[in-house]
Amino acid sequence: MNKKITLKELAVISNFSVSTISKALSGNREISEETRKKIIAIAKLYNYRPNAAARSLKSQKTKTIGVIIPNILTHYFAKVLVGIEHEASKKGYNIITCISDESYKKEVKSMEMLASGSVDGFLISLSKETQTKGNYDHITSVINNGLPVLMFDRTSNKIHCDKVIINDFDAAYNATKVLLHSSCRIVIFISPISDTNVGLERANGYTQAITDFFNGTVAPLIYNFTDYSQAREDIENILSKKKVDGIITSDELSAIFSMNIAISKGFKIPGDISIIGFTDGILSRNSNPPLTIVNQNETELGKISAANLIKRIENNSKESYTTQIIETNIIYRKSINATIEI
Partner DNA sequence: CTGAAAGCGCTAACAA
Partner DNA sequence: TTGTTAGCGCTTTCAG
| Interface with a second copy (CB under 8 A) | 1-4, 47, 49-54, 56-57, 62, 64, 71-73, 75, 78-79, 81-82, 85-86, 89, 94-99, 106, 110, 112-118, 141, 144-146, 253, 256-257, 259-260, 263, 282-283, 286-288
Given a second copy, DNA, none, residue 23, with its beta carbon under 5 to 8 Å by kind, binds: DNA
| Interaction between residue 8 and DNA (CB under 7 A) | yes
Paired sense of beta strands 221-224 and 187-191, if any: parallel
Closest CA to 192 of 111, 245, 249, 109: 249
How many CB atoms sit inside 10 A of residue 241's CB?
A: 8
Collapse the DSSP code of 165 into the 3-class scheme (helix H, G, I; strand E, B; otherwise coil) and give the result: strand
Q: In angstroms, what is the minimal distance from the CB of 16 to DNA?
A: 4
CA dist., res. 309 & res. 304, Å (int): 8
Choose between 112 and 212: whose C-beta lies nearer to DNA: 112
Choose between 19 and 118: whose C-beta lies nearer to DNA: 19
Paired sense of beta strands 221-224 and 274-278, if any: unpaired
Among 6, 71, 140, 141, binds DNA (CB under 7 A): 6
Considering only residues 20-79, where is the footprint of DNA by CB under 7 A? 20, 22-23, 25-26, 29-36, 48-51, 54-55, 57-60
Task: Give alpha helix (H) positions in the chain.
Answer: 7-14, 18-25, 33-45, 52-59, 75-90, 104-115, 128-133, 137-144, 168-181, 197-213, 228-241, 253-264, 282-285, 298-315
Choose between 20 and 299: whose C-beta lies nearer to DNA: 20
- HSE-up of 299 (CA within 13 Å, CB side)? 8
Q: In angstroms, what is the minimal distance from the CB of 215 to a second copy?
A: 37
Spatial neighbors of 1 by CB under 8 A, at least 6 apart, are: none
Choose between 203 and 291: whose C-beta lies nearer to a second copy: 291
Binding site for DNA (CB under 7 A): 4, 6-8, 15-20, 22-23, 25-26, 29-36, 48-51, 54-55, 57-60
